[in-house]
């Protein structure tokens, strides 16, 4: 699967491997990509940040006071910045609770899109949408557990 045109073949392979088992093991994927991840107490209103810590070396910090599902989305979002926007990160950037940073809204949208694609792979979403014997609420709850995301993120992704 091609998750994004900016992603090289080797990285795409690592991502494919990661999404082969749900919920996606984000920590393990980050480690394979060479990114250090820390759960930390961040300034109020900050969900995550990515910082340059050396020559082509990056670390991601996730606000540990937010829900686990939210932390997963934040990590996936920051990995999106790492893979797609490394040239824009500079020394680092912080994302607030609405995933706004010093970068443009369209760049932030792209990171959110990447996160959704990574956590909730499209072919799996399509499979779930065929579960017509369950109610929409049940489907959202099921998807939320299946993907390890918030009900809200699942609902947006399912488009229901």
By CB under 5 A, name the binding residues for Zn ion. 95, 99, 101, 108, 111
Residue 140 or residue 153: which is nearer to Zn ion going by CB? 153
Q: CA angle at residue 142 from 29 to 100, to 5 degrees?
A: 55
* Residue 60 CB, nearest approach to Zn ion (Å): 11
* Residue 82 CB, nearest approach to Zn ion (Å): 11
Question: Cα-Cα-Cα-Cα dihedral of 144, 106, 37, 75, to 10°?
Answer: 0
Residue 111 or residue 154: which is nearer to Zn ion going by CB? 111
The CA-atom distances, in angstroms, between 104 and each of 12, 100, 114 are: 25, 8, 16
* Residue 102 CB, nearest approach to Zn ion (Å): 9
Residue 65 or residue 102: which is nearer to Zn ion going by CB? 102
What is d(CA 144, CA 160) in angstroms, rounded to the nearest whole number? 13
């Amino acid at each position: 699967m091609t998750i994004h045109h900016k992603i090289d073949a080797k990285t795409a392979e690592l991502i494919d491997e990661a999404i082969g088992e749900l919920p996606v093991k984000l920590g393990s994927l980050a480690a394979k990509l060479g990114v250090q991840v820390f759960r930390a107490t961040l300034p109020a209103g900050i969900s995550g940040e990515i910082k340059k810590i050396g020559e082509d070396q990056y670390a991601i910090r996730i606000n540990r006071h937010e829900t686990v599902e939210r932390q997963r989305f934040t990590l996936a979002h920051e990995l999106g910045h790492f893979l797609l926007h490394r040239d824009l990160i500079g020394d680092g950037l912080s994302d607030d609770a609405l995933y706004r940073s010093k970068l443009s809204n369209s760049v932030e949208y792209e990171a959110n899109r990447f996160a959704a694609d990574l956590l909730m792979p499209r072919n799996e979403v399509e499979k779930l949408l065929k579960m017509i014997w369950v109610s929409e609420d049940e489907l959202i709850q099921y998807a939320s557990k299946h993907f390890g995301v918030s009900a809200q993120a699942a609902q947006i992704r399912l488009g229901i």
